[in-house]
Amino acid sequence: MYTAGDRVMHEGAVFEATWWTRDAEPGSSPWGSWQEIASTDDGTAVWTESRIFVAGDVVEHDGETYTAQWWTRNQEPGASAWGPWELTTG
């Protein structure tokens, strides 16, 4: 059993429980109870499909930096001009 905020290593990646969970495999769904947590060497978040981002969060994805305009999960930066991400470098 895990509660929100608990972190585990699974298949070489770090995952954080989003809420209370049991018997859910980390990484099995981008909408599940686990978020994959990754960052660059300087501490900038790396976009992962399961991680929840909120307005103002900065991420790196495919060599570019984006800022979240609102809450988002499983919406890839740069995939849509109408999505939650604003390109901040490039």
Mean pLDDT of 50-79: 97
Q: Which residues pair with 64 in a beta bridge?
A: 61
What is the structure's pLDDT at 89?
A: 72
Shortest CA distance to 4 belongs to which of 15, 19, 23? 19
Q: Per CATH, which fold does 1-37 belong to?
A: Seminal Fluid Protein  PDC-109 (Domain B) (2.10.10)
- Per-residue pLDDT of 9-30, as tens digits, reads 999 999 999 999 999 999 999 9
**Superfamily the domain 43-90 falls into:** Carbohydrate-binding module superfamily 5/12 (2.10.10.20)
pTM of the model: 0.90
- Per DSSP (E only), the strands in the chain are 7-10, 13-17, 34-37, 45-46, 58-61, 64-68, 85-87
- Answer whether 1-37 and 43-90 agree in fold: yes
What is the structure's pLDDT at 81?
A: 87
